[in-house]
Structure 1
Amino acid sequence: MSNRTLAVVSAGLGQPSSTRLLADRLAAATGRSLLGQGIQAAVDVVELRGHAHDLTNNLVSGVPTGNLRAAIDSVVDADALIAVTPIFTASYSGLFKMFFDVLEPESLAGKPVLIAATGGTPRHSLALEHALRPLFAYLRSVVVPTAVYAASEDWGTGGGDGRALTERIDRAAGELAALLGGRDRQKPSDPYEDPTPFADLLGA
């Protein structure tokens, strides 16, 4: 059985958080789909709530401090990413955007990504298409076709039974697993890994 690493970024602010709940369900569904392909998934969850101060410091200083460096490495080195944010003012949260702002350019290029979001009402669901998908397209990630939005009513409250949400989760997870299962493990290239010798630079 082969192995893949799956990073999960959750930008929920509360504890417990519906954003984290959705992230966990997406990770579990992806893991099940990968097992069906003979692939074991190692999941690493990054809760951005715990990195809020370090993210602010990183934006100002340009240097990740505390546990933020490990969180960044976890996301960059993973074979695939699940990114989940609450929707505030018709877009992703500021905390969510800060995390992806501090990543090195090209660090997510070519990485399979599943995008998802939570919100109070269904009317915010289009934020996935007009905000999150363009963000990861700019980062040159490979975003799966199905994005998952969960409004309050999707959790089985208010007369709903939650089946529609479960179907969306399973479909999106299957797409991510299919994309991930067909890929060879690759680490992002390090632009400083093979530097030009200083003598050669002087000769040029």
Structure 2
Amino acid sequence: MTSVVTLVGNPRGGSRTRIAAVAAAEAIGERIGHDGSHEVVDLSALGSQLLAPGPSAGVEVALELVTGADVLVVASPTYKGTYTGLLKAFFDRLPPAALTGVAALPVLVMGDPRHALAVEVHLRPLLVELGAHVPTPGLALLEPELPDLGEVLARWTARVAPQVTAALGERTGIRLREGAGT
């Protein structure tokens, strides 16, 4: 069964970023035929724990959910032309290649269209550096588009779902081949 996890890097709880990210994850999940549970890791609840020097049970659970995902929707508001420091602090906790085998979908919510490339220039490379397979163009979501979120997501998921499905098929094929000799 495919697991879909949403990671929200907005430091404010109940944010528009969270609403958009959850909607994006649900839309892609529906489009690829996902019928299981959908987990949400909202970093706004973990901010102080992420910056604490020692381990934290909440952060460890969040890291396990993210690294165990088949499909990971990673969303952040755009701050200073890129993703938030909170999201970076979370990803800094992961070892190299921790997202190997994960199909990651970057989403940035932004107020200005001049930041539209940030999803591809900043967030995608971070995910790739951690080993994620980023099979699709990320979603650069402008704040004025939020009232029409359903329409925007319908267009985006129609475009990216075949690539996500193919990535999941490759991952499953790898698992089957590895397990065939045991």
**Pair in the same fold by TM > 0.5:** yes
Contact 2:32 2:161 in 1 (8 A): no
Match of 1:95 in 2: 86
The answer on whether the counterparts of 1:83 and 1:113 sit within 8 Å (CA) in structure 2 is yes
Give the TM-score normalised by the residue count of structure 2: 0.85
Distance 1:51 1:129 in 2: 26
Residues 1-204 of structure 1 correspond to what in structure 2 (within 5 A)?
A: 3-35=1-33, 39-57=34-52, 61=53, 63-156=54-147, 163-184=151-172
Aligned partner letter, 1:149: A
CA distance in structure 2 between the aligned counterparts of 1:182 and 1:106, rounded to whole angstroms: 17
Give deviations 1:25-65, integer Å, cap 9, x for gaps: 11111221222xxx5332111000000011001xxx3x421
CA offsets 1:73-132 (integer angstroms, 9 cap, x no match): 111122221101111001110001111000122211232111111011211111111101
Q: Distance in 1 between matches of 2:149 and 2:107?
A: 20
Deviation at residue 20 of structure 1 after TM alignment? 0.7
Q: 1:108 to 1:181 in 2, by over 3 A?
A: same
In 2: Cα distance, 1:79 partner to 1:161 partner: 24
Distance change >3 Å, CA 151–CA 27, structure 1 → 2: same
Structure (1/2) with the larger strand percentage: 1
Whether the aligned pair in 1 keeps the contact of 2:5 and 2:39 (CA below 8 Å) is yes
Q: 1:172 is aligned with what amino acid?
A: V
Q: 1:173 to 1:45 in 2, by over 3 A?
A: farther
SS of 2:121's equivalent?
Answer: helix
- Give the letter for the 1:136 counterpart: L
Give the paired residue count.
174
- Give distance in 2, aligned partners of 1:9 and 1:108: 13
Q: Answer 1 or 2: which has greater helix percent.
A: 2
Paired position in structure 1 for 2:179 = none
> What displacement does 1:163 show?
3.2
Question: Residue type of the partner of 2:27?
Answer: A
